[in-house]
Amino acid sequence: MKKYCFGIDVGGTTVKCGLFDVKGEVLDKWEIHTRTENNGINILPDVADTIAAKILEKKLDREEIAGVGIGVPGPVDEEGNVMVAVNLHWGYLQLTEEMEKMTGLPVRAGNDANVAALGEMWKGGGAGYHNVVMVTLGTGVGGGIIVNGKIVTGSHGAGGEIGHIHVEDSMEESCNCGNKGCLEQFVSATGIVRLANKMLDESDAPSVLRNGPVSAKTVFDAVKEKDGLAAEIAEQFGKYLGTALAVIAGVVDPEVFVIGGGVSKAGQVVIDYIRKYYREYAFSGCKDTAFALAELGNDAGIYGAARLVLD
């Protein structure tokens, strides 16, 4: 009878770690430093060590541990091999196989954005649903697609790469991915600043946004204060993202869209602008699909990673 599982979220600076019971209650939560030097050769041994230490500390019976789930910042295939993880200085790595050897426990691995989506489905904004699309609006735009409770990994590990779907032909600046006109260039925190600066340049309208540095937060704060120009920026943001989510609904038709990341901290107003355009462009059967804010914040990754080993 399995009672426990570990959820590990490997980031470029810290590795977040969680010990969970199999119902999804977090029993302990801690972090270790991510040692990226020497091509990140120490990262997996460090994770194995901290797990071994926790097993000792908590006097866990290994027979009662379902396994270790790991999310990493890069594409991961169905067999748990990492293609590349730039921020960890990793190239190709048989992650699942190596971690199983080091820990002596069953291991499952996934891309961090996908794993976060699974976490939100399990215990966050998507709880109670099994078909979820999560969008993380941070410095970039991450995504995760869950169909019937399982991550859609994709045949090149690019399932849920919705930050890089093409939304604008007229964009001349290149995205980090090399293409032009990606969703991320308009609706990430950085993208919202780009939209805002362009609109502030092109308009003479007064706005509180002219008083200081612009960020996604100042834009949505100004929207809440009924600033006209800020509202126009939010409309553009909502049009790009709402239309993109309507397209996604025509592909996988989820039960719920979960909106997370720093931009989502502005709250319901973000969903209101997205949903306005979503409803305009979504296929008739999907217009009433639910929207929810993410609830787990930076812990979504450890929840989702733990969930990986419980299938």
Contact residues toward a copy of itself (CB under 8 A) are: 75, 78, 83, 131, 145, 147-148, 150, 152-162, 164-166, 177-179, 181, 243-244, 246-255, 280-281, 283-286, 289
Amino acid at 262: G
CB of 161 to a copy of itself, least distance (A): 5
CB of 185 to a copy of itself, least distance (A): 13
Query: Do residues 92 and 72 touch, judged by C-beta distance below 8 A?
Result: no
d(CA 300, CA 136): 11
Among residues 290 and 310, whose Cβ is nearest to a copy of itself? 290
CB of 29 to a copy of itself, least distance (A): 32
Query: Do residues 62 and 3 touch, judged by C-beta distance below 8 A?
Result: no
Among residues 17 and 145, whose Cβ is nearest to a copy of itself? 145
The first and second tokens of residue 136, run together, are 């993380």
Q: If you search the block for the tokens 């002596």, which residue do you land on?
A: 104
Among residues 177 and 205, whose Cβ is nearest to a copy of itself? 177
CB of 63 to a copy of itself, least distance (A): 31
- Find the largest Cα–Cα distance for the chain: 68
Among residues 208 and 247, whose Cβ is nearest to a copy of itself? 247
Query: Do residues 270 and 94 touch, judged by C-beta distance below 8 A?
Result: no
CB of 68 to a copy of itself, least distance (A): 23
Within 13 Å, how many C-alpha atoms sit on residue 258's CB side? 33
Among residues 68 and 162, whose Cβ is nearest to a copy of itself? 162
* DSSP line for 70-95: EEESS-B-TTS-BS-BGGGTB-SB-H
Nearest to 171 by CA among 179, 161, 159: 179
The first and second tokens of residue 54, run together, are 């926790």
d(CA 90, CA 108): 18
Give φ, ψ of 28 to 5 degrees. -160, 150
CB of 215 to a copy of itself, least distance (A): 27
Among residues 42 and 131, whose Cβ is nearest to a copy of itself? 131
CB of 131 to a copy of itself, least distance (A): 5
Among residues 7 and 138, whose Cβ is nearest to a copy of itself? 138
Packed helices 300-308 and 112-123: angle between N→C axes, nearest 10 degrees? 90
